[in-house]
Amino acid sequence: MRILVTGGAGYVGTRLSNALVRAGHPVRVLDALLYGSQGVRPEIDLRRGDLRSRSDLARALEGVDVVFHLASSTGVLREASATPAAEIESVLSEAQRRNVRRFIYGSALDPSGRHDRAVEQCVVEANSAAFEATCVRMASVCGPSPRQRFDLGANAMAGSAWFDGRIEIPADDVTVAHLTMTDAVRLYLTLLEARGPDIGGRIFEAGYEAMNSRELAELIRDRVPTPNGVPAAIEVSLEAGRFQAASRFDAAPLEAILGFRPQASVREMVDQLVQLIELGFLDRYDRDIYHNEPVRPAPIAPSRTARLLERAARAFPASL
């Protein structure tokens, strides 16, 4: 099967794309490369492009059997007339026109901790016998990636604890469910191999290990060394947390229908991040390269940090 991963140079996308290559699939990536292409394996057909460009999308879909739609417009300027639902409808329509057989949409949390239900509905309504469309709502993903992010819950806390000796938690101490990077990739591979009738037209939920901010901070404080050897100080922010609806996930259908259970823990993801930092593969957590914010398009040639991340990928083949 030839597979297209939109957003395949992103945080989860690089891990998934590389795993698909290791599994023997020909993989193509369509990505705007706003944050570079570090960690994308050379065997991957990497296309720089914009999903909102019909020509870019059409070329990327040529000869493709399966689409993993992970691309997001979060942090990217868009015209006022454009909406996520309109964008996904355009992608779905072109995929159907190109005879794509399976479409798997990764529904990520928005900045408030919610999923875009309108987009999810567009996906499942497109399902048919000839076009198997499914959606999975992802909890807060944590763990290492060749395109590392330190602007996400557990990752951000681990970086702050290591480099600054402090962990900041929101005033309202919200509860958030998690999905480890290891299990996120396993879940996508499970959806790839599943029977069409088992996944077509369904919205699955993947969220485990729900913890409030203090519980997560205490876990990280106990796992992450600090510059002076003193346990990281947990400080309460004056601001409320941005996640307001990210703790309720019903993952039972994943196990009942697909036999999927999580195999990794948040604790293990934090330990992997610590290993990468200790070995010098990750720089300070507050560097722009680790944050999804509007930036100028980065050159495809890897930077020094990108080369460090690629070395990390080779050093930890089982996890990256």
Would you state the structure tokens that stand for residue 101, as one six-digit string? 């057989």
Closest CA to 71 of 9, 119, 150, 128: 9
CATH of the domain at 219: 3.40.50.720
Look at residue 103 and tell me if it is in a domain: yes
Nearest to 113 by CA among 6, 213, 181, 200: 213
Assess if residue 320 is contained within a domain.
no
Most confident of 69-78, 223-232, 294-303: 223-232
The closest alpha carbon to 20, from 37, 38, 1, belongs to 1
pLDDT score recorded for residue 77: 36
User: Which whole number is the average pLDDT over 98-115?
Assistant: 86
15 part of a folded domain: yes
* Residue 69 is assigned to a structural domain of this protein: yes
Nearest by Cα to 179 from 208, 152, 150: 208
pTM of the model: 0.89
Mean pLDDT score across all residues of the chain: 87
- From 75-79, 112-116, 138-142, 144-148, the region with the lowest mean pLDDT: 75-79
Report phi then psi at 144, rounded to 5: -85, 155
Provide the pairing of β-strand 203-206 with 132-138: parallel
How many Å is the Cα radius of gyration of the chain?
19
Nearest one of 93, 77, 105, 275 to 206, comparing CA atoms: 105
pLDDT in tens, 246-269: 668 999 999 999 999 999 999 999
Q: Which of 267, 278, 266 is nearest to 163 (CA)?
A: 278
Residue 102 lies in a domain: yes
Residue 264 resides in a domain: yes
Res 74 pLDDT > 50: no
Q: How many domains does the chain have?
A: 1
Encoded tokens for 199: 């996944």
Report the share of the chain in percent with pLDDT over 90: 66
- The answer to whether position 191 is within a domain reads yes
What is the structure's pLDDT at 246?
Answer: 61
**Residue 297's pLDDT band (boundaries 50, 70, 90)?**
very low
Domain with 298 in it:
3-315
pLDDT at 161 over 50: yes
